Structure 1
């Protein structure tokens, strides 16, 4: 592929410099504490910039060496780790998971008999999202050793290969396979095969991070844009879903990483090969090709590969997530310009957002890291703004107006949820016998505990029985109670708030017309009725 000719590096850099006030305005409007980004074009770094603080209290600024979680951008690296093993003939992308992992015993007979690595990596397996593995303050409640037990217990929400649904658990399977085939942990394998050969000194998946300096703190944002510090997520090779989001890095390391990956991808696609001379990456046409359709029929491509999204511009870059979830739509960028393929991934955890967008025709890339969960997905909007700036599209979208709309919708979330829910809004003292609900309730795998207690004659819910994880229950109707709280209270505890009303509801159930023996929590809108938790000592 010949590099597309265009403006000089200096001209492109000048566009980004001129755009700096607008970027600052966009960031400030949603409460972003700190952000770093870098841009590649024709395989070379053309611009790097930093905004705000890595430590808000101490007013320590961001730099290109500031380390932050790259969140779900980790998935593309995990698929690359498996690519090495495929290249060496140790497994195939379409190998059945049950052949690689005898402990894989899904309750779905179809998955157990037929599901492949590709099915899980491309998010077409149909298993439940079960996205409750973190609770307040980024605490991970599930033990790493419980991973396969949880996966085996998950039901399905659609038939195998029938649809796409974003899901982290397939990457637990991927890292388990990597561990078993290599005889070492997936994180040490990534360090050996990728991080050390590329000289990435400020990139880590091991979790041993005490020796690093210049590490960003993480923040949530209150309704008035005041930042609140929360603990940074501690995902890594030591935790249950490290392969879904456990790498930390910085812009200085990520730019050469994706430059190297882009060169390998361009060569391998052009030459119908799986390897590139003097390039560490293998099997990139497999990991970066389409395996699942995202959303409904589309004139331009919108698909998912193995840890990578593919989008053909003009299009909405991210068709699921915070912004589209709030507005029901996203901006279409790239109108009036030649179509462009984007190979990308986004990531988020409370207190952090991240994104990488690669444009293979021009060997361009945009990488963004931020240490804030503001009042929108800022990396989504900033990458769109930076894309328009890089390619100087003739028809530019007013990204600031989209940010304003999204912020307004997020601030309406709590009042809208209160208005829409079927709830009396009274505390639980109007129930005569509160004692009947008190107890310890376990999920099927005994990996998550919900404890119901009383506090000043009202019911409270406590996840994992922790005092710091107690929430008052409001009686809604019948035997349904809600632990919904005002947005500021939830985000101050590191809670992502954009859930539906049933997420915050607990429904108690009885054995026939007898005593309370279980409760149901609807933490996944795709699971009718919610997940059942059985009361301890109930037969």
Structure 2
């Protein structure tokens, strides 16, 4: 499995309390030539293969263009028609689907999901009977991400839905914002139950076709039928290595499976600015679209690193904040090696979407470009966000190196496993996550978890540590009363808790 960063940039902001004194003069709003030069400069500085962006202003598509290449081998250029995985930007479409069902009288925002889907079941009974559709898509269910339930697993949407009941919650309902893809997947199942159509069919019929997103794809096989799509890259040390398309994102489609180009994403941005209308037709009512844009959860931990940014809340499919005193709605998306970001300034009739085909620099590149455009068209002095984000990027890299060093220092040297390595071999099972296969590879252990192939090194005592894509993940082997190895407690990525798997007898 490639290093899939199921990351969402949550830029937090509140009214600006200061401006950066060391900034350039105010830019002229029609300087698209300056934008061209800036984007090309950033492509080179951040070593980004390709990007595409669009700008919508005052009800019109102002700009839609591709830069760089979509394939490092062929050097084929990115165009405004090139498809990219927009990942979690898809969440806003799913939230709008729920709003449309509310318009049709099929959904009550305040009614428990259990009333619509009797088979909806979480590990916690109170959460099962309390959660509403609004809760599913505002990240306040109490369920941590548990992303490795789906990332590499050969499970379809219904199978994932059926396994929710085996996933432990780590917070009470409403206690804390916790980003969650599986709850959006469940929202997609709810859309199917209420409409009688799959999420894919519903979003296409009710949104994509009516607003002219005709070439937008909802699955990888559908994307592959279009010859103009970007390959993606995610390895900082080997930037030409393709990230591939082996995640199971299509199974959780409502959370992140849309693949679109910037020309068509402009139509989505215009619908947002036009309060649910497209071409004079109401696609979703202003009333229920406002439900998507209402703060329902406070994003935690609360951070306000820069004076232009403040604290953030989450609506449904949108992070809600301000930028330099301007109301802003935003969402990022990350899958394989794609990084995308959409930004709407509703009171300024301005919106921006940008997407790239590398994850190696996180959201630093897309945020730099987005903020440059915002400063330009909000007629603000241009802040040197590039320098800020470059500094953040290098500090994050140093922090990672420090964490690795600390992990090594905590390792107890000259310890040994309590058993011969052959005693750790076997199949370990969890009712939701499935099977983890431990095998001997010469004089070391290795593991297979669905499509993941993991090398293990002895850390200390009965604890082993993953290498490669699972670097630093601890495998803590446990014994029964007879002294036999019968369980492994695994620091499952993105689970926010250890997952115990039992050895199959």
TM-score range, shorter chain: 0.7 to 0.9
How many Å separate the matches in 1 of 2:241 and 2:182? 30
Deviation of 1:432 (Å): 5.9
Aligned ranges 1:69-84 → 2 under 5 Å: 69-84=85-100
Deviation of 1:475 (Å): 1.0
Change (3 A) 1:59 1:140: farther
Deviation of 1:118 (Å): 1.1
Q: Name the residue aligned to 1:227.
A: 240
Deviation of 1:50 (Å): 2.2
How many Å separate the matches in 2 of 1:147 and 1:259? 34
SS of residue paired to 1:228: coil
- The correspondence for 1:13, drawn from 25, 30, 34, is 30
Q: Name the residue aligned to 1:284.
A: 289
Deviation of 1:361 (Å): 1.0
Deviation of 1:154 (Å): 1.9
Aligned ranges 1:47-62 → 2 under 5 Å: 47-62=63-78
Matched, 1:462 2:448: yes
Matched, 1:368 2:327: no
Q: Name the residue aligned to 1:149.
A: 162
Q: Name the residue aligned to 2:260.
A: 249
Matched, 1:109 2:125: yes
Q: Name the residue aligned to 1:534.
A: 502
Aligned ranges 1:335-414 → 2 under 5 Å: 339-377=325-363, 378-394=365-381, 396-412=382-398
Q: Name the residue aligned to 2:476.
A: 507
Write the deviation string for residues 454-504 of structure 1: whole angstroms up to 9, x where unpaired. Answer: 11111112213x5xx33321111111111133xxxx4xxxx8x8xxx4xx1
SS of residue paired to 1:60: coil
How many Å separate the matches in 2 of 1:518 and 1:114? 33
Q: Name the residue aligned to 2:227.
A: 213
Deviation of 1:343 (Å): 1.2
- The correspondence for 1:477, drawn from 439, 460, 463, is 460
How many Å separate the matches in 2 of 1:525 and 1:213? 34
Matched, 1:434 2:421: yes
Matched, 1:126 2:137: no
Aligned ranges 1:15-94 → 2 under 5 Å: 16-94=32-110
SS of residue paired to 1:37: strand
Give RMSD over aligned pairs.
2.7
Aligned residues: 469
Q: Name the residue aligned to 1:328.
A: none
How many Å separate the matches in 2 of 1:141 and 1:409? 37
How many Å separate the matches in 1 of 2:359 and 2:54? 20
SS of residue paired to 1:163: coil
Q: Are the counterparts in 2 of residues 131 and 524 from structure 1 also a CA contact under 8 Å?
A: yes
Q: Are the counterparts in 1 of residues 421 and 444 from structure 2 also a CA contact under 8 Å?
A: yes
How many Å separate the matches in 1 of 2:459 and 2:116? 47
Q: Are the counterparts in 2 of residues 35 and 371 from structure 1 also a CA contact under 8 Å?
A: yes
Change (3 A) 1:140 1:38: farther
Deviation of 1:430 (Å): 7.2
Segment drifting more, 384-393 vs 214-223: 384-393
How many Å separate the matches in 2 of 1:234 and 1:523? 17
SS of residue paired to 2:65: strand
SS of residue paired to 2:90: helix
Deviation of 1:96 (Å): 0.2
Extract unaligned runs of 5+ from structure 1: 1-9, 268-274, 314-333
- The correspondence for 1:309, drawn from 319, 324, 327, is 319
Structure of higher RCO (CA pairs closer than 8 Å, 6+ residues apart)? 2
Write the deviation string for residues 381-416 of structure 1: whole angstroms up to 9, x where unpaired. Answer: 33223222322323x432221232233245446533
How many Å separate the matches in 1 of 2:455 and 2:418? 14
